[in-house]
Structures are given as C-alpha cells and as structure tokens.
Structure 1
Amino acid sequence: MAAIATDTHPYGRVSRLFHWGMAALFAWQFVTVGARVLLPDGALDDFLWPTHKPLGALLMLLVVLRLVWALVDRTRRPPSLNLAAHLGHLALYALMVAVPLVALMRQYGSGRAFSPFGIPLMSGFEGEIEWMTAIGGIFHGLLGWVLLALVVGHVGMAILHRRLSDENVLARMAPHAGQSR
C-alpha cells in the first residue's frame, strides 16, 4: 500500500525535536517509576529515582514551550486525521500538563524546598498545606498511569495506521519512515 498525502506534509524540525526529545524523557520517567514499583530499595531504584523530580520539572517547562510553539506554528502543522485523533492529542497535552502540575502542587504543599538541577524553584517553609499534598498524592500517580496508557495507545495507533491503511502518520513525525514499509 502506498502512503497518501499524510507523509507529504511532515511536522517541522522544532515540533519533531519537541516530540522525540519529550518522548525520550517521558520514557525515562516511566522507567524510573517502574524501577520504584518493581525494584524498591534496589541499586537500580537508587540510581534512577533521584532523577524523577528534576526531569519532571524539565518536562513541565518543555510542555509549556511545546504548547507555545504549537500555537505559533499552528498554520504550518498538518491537520488531524479525524476527531478521535484530535481529541487523543488534546488528552495527551492535558495530561502532559496535569501530571507534573499536580506533582509541583504536592511538592509546594509539603513545605519542602525544590531546586531541580540546582535552580531554586520553591523555597521551603514550616508546616504543610494538606489539601495540596492530598491532591498531588491522589492524582499524580493516577494521572501518570493514564498518561502511560494514552502514550501506548498513541504509539499503537501510529503503527496501526502505518500497517493497516494508506495513512502513514508516522512519516509526519519521522519523515524518513515514509520511504520504506
């Protein structure tokens, strides 16, 4: 099956850099959680877990920059294939904002200082803001798992479109993927 116009209108380099760079960082985040859940208090967990919070803060910054770039670049972006694809991407963006946002809320509410990569983001204070830590405690992990499920679905749909239809959507984000099947 030959690819149709979906691979002739790829995303630009900046959009692809955001996509693949953030995909790698999110993969790292999911690996750190996997090690934390499956291998608690082991050497791998001890190595990976300290990177989770600073990379989460970096991802929050990157998602804001990515959203700004998407608005600036909106007239040059390829159109969504259908309503389901559009809604799926909106859900991914919403979760990419919500997951680190509730983690930052929990961090602030805990009263502990937070300086990712040595950059002071939050100074500590005495006490705790319980409603903030409660919301963060409940929703950070839950929404993180939902984000992982959507990411798996996103990857799955890109593969299905490439294999089962004339819509090679992978070529939009990885232009060289459209050259061979």
Structure 2
Amino acid sequence: MLGVDEYAQRKGRIYGTVLVDVETRRPVDLLPDREADTLAAWLAARPEVEIVCRDRAPFFAEGATRGAPQALQVADRWHIWHNLGQAAEKCVYQHRGRLRPSPAPPDEPQKEADPAMSSPWPTGHRFAERTRAKHATIHALLAAGHSKRSVARQPGMGLNTILRFSRATTPEELFTGQWQSRATKLDA
C-alpha cells in the first residue's frame, strides 16, 4: 500500500510529492513536483503497487489512474476525518438556528440568561472564537477604509463571507441565524 501526499519545499511556492509505505510508515521516495505525469511515470515503473492511499487532489487521482490502473485508490484516514469534521461543522453552522437548548431540570431554579451564554456557542468554543475573530478583523478593515473586495483578498476569505460578516453588526447575529432568510429542507 502506497501513501501519496504533498510536502512543501518552500511553503506557498514549491511543493513536491512524498510517497510512503503505509504499512511501515516509512518514506519510499520524494518527487520534485505535484504533477500527474511525474506520479504516473513513477507508478508505471512499479507495477507491484496494488493500493494507492491519497487525498482528493485531482493531480494525484489522475497520476494514480494513469500510472497504476490496476491499483485500488482509497482516501487516507486523516483526510476522511478532516473532511468529515469540516462537513459536520458546516452542517451545524448552517442549521444552528434550529438547535434548541436543552430544558433546565425542574428542581433547579431558573437563572437569568447571561448574554454570553445566549448564543449557541458561548465564550471558549472554538467555532465561536474563530467567528468572533473573523468578524472583528473584517469590521476593523472596513472601518479603516478598505473595500469589501480588498478585505476578501486579505484574510483569504470569499466575497460572500465578507458580505455576510459585514451585514452582521455583532458576531452573535451570525450565531443565531438572524441573517439567514432562505428556506431549507429542514423547514418542513
């Protein structure tokens, strides 16, 4: 079983391909780039490869298909968990307005709601802190006179994200779903 992934020779500029024996967890070879042709040529010289464990990068998929058509291609464990975590976080984020807090036990007296606790993600929650930080950064850049397009380029976020965050006066508006107006399959 051969593991295929990328590595950075110079982050953001030069990337290569690392090939790992998945069973022994030892590197087999380093390829100088992330090109499908390079991987295909390497695999074509080694017909004994039966399984290629890779991420979802299209150049790895194409290279493995051309270089080792007999090999079964599978996703590696890290990318499966990473993609599952992202999908779950996105799903919860999209439907957070429909989540209801659990009722308080009847033998405890009702306490007044703390403003920080009124959002679905109170202080200290990873998602909430990241959202609050993004909101503060976007509003600070807009207040400094930057255009929404230039703000979208600086933190590396999309324009739609910048527009959504700029419309929310507080980060809590993003948590409660007050900005979300379109219908979803869960409405029924």
The structure, 1 or 2, with the larger RCO (C-alpha pairs under 8 Å, 6+ apart) is 1
Higher helix share: 1
TM-score, scaled relative to structure 2: 0.24
TM-score, scaled relative to structure 1: 0.25
Higher strand share: 2
